[in-house]
Amino acid sequence: MDTRRFGNTDVQVTPVGLGTWAIGGWMWGGTDESQSIDTIHAAIDKGVGLVDTAPVYGFGRSEEIVGKALAGGRRDKVALATKVAMNWSDDHQNVWREATAARIEKEVEDSLRRLQTDHIDIYQVHWPDPQTPMEETAKAMENLLKAGKIRAIGVSNFTPEQMDEFRKFAPLHSLQPPYNLFERDIEQEVLPYCDEQGIATITYGGLCRGLLSGKMSKDSQFEGDDLRNNDPKFQGERFQQYLNAVQALDEFARDRYQKDVLALALRWLIDRPGVTTALWGARRPEQLDPVGEIEGWSLDPEALKAIDDILTEHIKDPVGPEFMAPPTRDKAA
């Protein structure tokens, strides 16, 4: 897979990266360590050159699995991205934003240990923390950069105004926002801002929690703590609207490109101006089989208009990813 320079850093990434939220198990109905390691290995073997994780994905579990998967010679094959500034209760029933310097200094050491590495390529503030001064957060991140523990400073789920504030106190190399065919709010301000400022982007949710995989139906069931039980897209009549859109997109992709909707959704993402890397979440090696289907073609303006027309026709009650936002410390209880 081709590589791209990550913003104005010397980090190299691929247009598609592996997202490992589901591998951590939390909010995805559990995890299988051996299967997850095989999945990470399969991604690397297929040329995927970025692996993204976070401490809160399984409360350290995802990072531990990624660390085991990269041990033994695979660490230097990927840009390794993780996050900071989330905290949780001992019983894992409550999570909250915490971007204090003390939290960042503790978490980086925990992440380095779990990931079995001496540096993190891309270190990202997971969510903005309005209860901590931005200066404190930014300077704590810059200290890690100067110490060589991280190679690039990133943020996730930040607005342009929040990024402006962060950049008063420290360099900012990347943003990780939600972005897919169904969730496109960042097109208005966020993507243009990043493009203008030379800030790389790692987009997450490329398949919209599996909706754009083409594998779901009105009878799909989500067990245990699966976050889709609380996602408005997967409820009632709205769910059917999205399923109808997926079916129409799949028919369009097959007729025009001899591809399926999954390949169309990812090709659309990596063709978007301002997108550096699009994350693809997978839990089993076979879910990565379509990686080769997204190379060697692109979407022309006529196709992009046809896609937009399909979305307008079928989705009458759109909703974004706002339900995923974690509480601040004062509201966590």
Among candidate residues 161, 201, 165, 210, the one with its CA nearest the CA of residue 17:
201
Active-site residue flag, 242: no
The answer to whether the pTM exceeds 0.95 is: no
| DSSP string across 109-164 | HHHHHHHT-S-BSEEEE-S--TTS-HHHHHHHHHHHHHTTSBS-EEEES--HHHHH
Amino acid sitting at position 298: S
pLDDT of the residue at 30: 60
How is the chain split among helix, strand and coil, in percent rounded to 5? 45, 15, 40
Domains by residue range for the chain, with CATH: 4-213+262-297 (3.20.20.100)
pLDDT of the residue at 229: 86
Strands 200-203 and 4-5: unpaired
Distance CA 281, CA 53 (A): 10
pLDDT in tens, the chain (333 residues): 789 999 999 999 999 999 998 786 555 556 788 899 999 999 999 999 999 999 988 888 999 999 999 998 999 999 999 999 999 888 878 889 999 999 999 999 999 999 999 999 999 999 999 999 999 999 999 999 999 999 999 999 999 999 999 999 999 999 999 999 999 999 999 999 999 999 999 999 999 988 999 999 998 988 777 778 888 999 999 999 999 999 999 999 999 999 999 999 999 999 999 999 999 888 889 988 888 888 889 999 999 999 999 999 999 999 998 888 888 988 875
Distance CA 23, CA 281 (A): 8
Q: For 249-286, what is each residue's pLDDT tens digit?
A: 999 999 999 999 999 999 999 999 999 999 988 888 99
**Residue 314 phi, psi dihedral angles, 5° rounding:** -100, -30
User: Are the beta carbons of 31 and 57 closer than 8 angstroms?
Assistant: no
DSSP E strand boundaries for 22-120: 50-52, 79-84, 86-88, 95-97
Handedness of CA 322, 161, 280, 72 (dihedral sign): negative
pLDDT of the residue at 141: 98
CA distances from 159 to 128, 167, 311 (A): 9, 12, 25
201-112-84-144 Cα dihedral, nearest 10 degrees:
-80
Distance CA 324, CA 100 (A): 21
Active-site annotation holder among 57, 123, 193, 204: 57
The CB density around residue 102, as the number of other CB atoms within 10 Å, is: 11
The greatest distance separating any two alpha carbons of the chain, rounded to the nearest whole angstrom, comes to 55
Q: For 218-242, what is each residue's pLDDT tens digit?
A: 989 887 777 788 889 999 999 999 9
